């Protein structure tokens, strides 16, 4: 199987029972997530990220279109045995952490003895081995999120679907999750996650999709996204600023940025003007800049709701 997750022209509209107002959360949305990759879903609040995840998990039905989870149509219960899911703002029953993980594992049909070992194992992976016998109702939000991750991994899933997995975690725990995701990918698992922590996404994701107003605004490999529109900063001396747009003079040097593809021509121009090139450095765009550019709204834009 090549695709772990497929959305095919999915549209999802929310309608209220007593009103004609409809809100289109996903609009003719198509996407494929390949097996063995870490795929990240970005988007502002209300872009449709969680809606897409909930459709894939079968929590809701699309208004039109459809899709497949590990080769089976959305909503089929048996396929979820091979999936691990962590919801945004995880909510768990008030039980001891180990019992809680065992409860969720048992729902997936794991036998008693292997489940006992596996529950301890996953709690150790998320760093909660010392809290296994504490009531999860008394946990902090970060600890709850770790238990949520443990229950998502208890069945050793082929596909992990994580909605904001690091939102409540401290920096140390974020590193732990990052390493966990990379280890899972190296073990051949597929990870589909949504996040607002763009720096984290840059570090772990193979591909990124930016969702905006229910549609994919940008989709590419993380490296390609960061490279696209890349610029080069050139520092030179013995040449006037007037020859180059945006050049700034400082301490006898001038510096300016040019598109990466014109870098060579610019350097040759400096030489032809009798100047000397001091340094040429690529300026890497951050995912945050790309995200802000893609999701920038004109101030006059109306609501995404349709009547």
Partner 1 sequence: MKPVLLIAVNFAREQRWPILTLLLWVLLLAFLGLVTDIHRQREDLLFVFKQDAVYVLAFSVFFGGSAIYNERRSRRILGVLSKAVSRQQYLSGLVLGVTIACAVYCFTLGLTGSWTLGGAGFPISRVWFLMVCLVAACMLAGTVALMFSTFLNPFFAAGATAMVLGVPALASQIFGARWGYVIPVWELGATVLNSSFNSPGRASWVPVLLAGAETLAFWLLSARIFAHVDIAVAVE
Strand intervals (E) in 227-297: 231-237, 248-250, 253-259, 276-283
Q: Say how far apart CA 240 and CA 108 lie, in whole Å.
A: 70
Site string for partner 1, 36-75 (x = CB under 8 A): --------------xx--x--xxxxx--------------
Among 83, 143, 191, 210, binds partner 1 (CB under 8 A): 83
CB of 176: closest distance to partner 1 in angstroms? 21
Q: Does 144 bind partner 1 (CB under 8 A)?
A: no
Q: Does 108 bind partner 1 (CB under 8 A)?
A: yes
Are 150 and 85 a contacting pair, CB within 8 Å?
no
Q: Say how far apart CA 241 and CA 247 lie, in whole Å.
A: 5
Are 55 and 8 a contacting pair, CB within 8 Å?
no
Q: Say how far apart CA 267 and CA 283 lie, in whole Å.
A: 16
Among 7, 29, 70, 88, binds partner 1 (CB under 8 A): 88
Which candidate, 262, 266, 263, 246, places its Cα nearest to that of 254?
246
Sign of CA dihedral 137, 143, 144, 149: negative
Among 39, 101, 151, 226, binds partner 1 (CB under 8 A): 151
Residue nearer to partner 1 on the CB measure, 112 or 250:
112
Instruction: Enter the tokens of residue 175.
Output: 């590193």
Span from 148-156, 181-189, 254-262, 265-273 in contact with partner 1 (CB under 8 A): 148-156
CB of 57: closest distance to partner 1 in angstroms? 6
Among 109, 114, 229, 305, binds partner 1 (CB under 8 A): 109
Strand order in the sheet with 22-34: 22-34, 3-15, 64-69, 72-73
Number of residues counted as binding partner 1 (CB under 8 A): 32
Among 1, 91, 172, 187, binds partner 1 (CB under 8 A): 91
Q: Does 90 bind partner 1 (CB under 8 A)?
A: yes
Residue nearer to partner 1 on the CB measure, 211 or 234:
211
Q: Say how far apart CA 182 and CA 180 lie, in whole Å.
A: 5
List contacts with partner 1 (CB under 8 A): 14, 50-51, 54, 57-61, 77-81, 83, 85, 87-93, 103-104, 106-109, 148, 151, 155
């Amino acid at each position: 199987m090549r695709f772990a997750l497929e959305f095919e022209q999915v549209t999802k509209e929310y309608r209220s029972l007593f009103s004609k107002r409809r809100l289109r959360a996903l609009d003719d949305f198509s996407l494929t997530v390949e097996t063995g990759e870490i795929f990240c879903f970005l988007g502002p609040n209300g872009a449709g990220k969680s809606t897409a995840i909930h459709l894939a998990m079968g929590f809701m039905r699309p208004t039109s279109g459809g899709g497949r989870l590990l080769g089976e149509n959305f909503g089929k219960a048996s396929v979820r045995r091979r999936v691990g899911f962590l919801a945004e703002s995880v909510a768990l029953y008030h039980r001891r952490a180990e019992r809680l993980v065992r409860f969720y594992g048992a729902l997936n049909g794991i036998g008693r003895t292997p489940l006992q070992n596996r529950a301890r194992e996953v709690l150790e992976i998320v760093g909660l081995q010392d809290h296994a016998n504490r009531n999860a109702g008394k946990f902090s939000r970060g600890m709850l999120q770790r238990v949520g991750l443990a229950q998502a991994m208890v069945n050793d899933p082929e596909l992990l679907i994580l909605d904001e997995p690091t939102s409540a975690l401290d920096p140390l725990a974020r590193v732990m999750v990052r390493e966990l995701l990379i280890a899972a990918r190296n073990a051949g698992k597929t990870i589909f996650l949504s996040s607002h922590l763009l720096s984290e996404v840059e570090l772990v994701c193979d591909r990124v999709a930016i969702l905006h107003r229910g549609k994919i605004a940008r989709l590419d490999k993380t490296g390609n996204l960061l490279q696209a529109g890349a610029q080069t900063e050139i520092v030179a001396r013995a040449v006037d600023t007037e020859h180059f747009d945006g050049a700034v003079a400082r301490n006898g040097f001038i510096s300016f940025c040019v598109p990466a593809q014109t870098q060579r021509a610019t350097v040759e121009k400096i030489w032809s003007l009798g100047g000397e090139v001091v340094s040429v450095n690529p300026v890497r765009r951050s995912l945050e800049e790309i995200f802000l550019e893609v999701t920038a709204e004109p101030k006059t834009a109306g609501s995404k709701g349709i009547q």
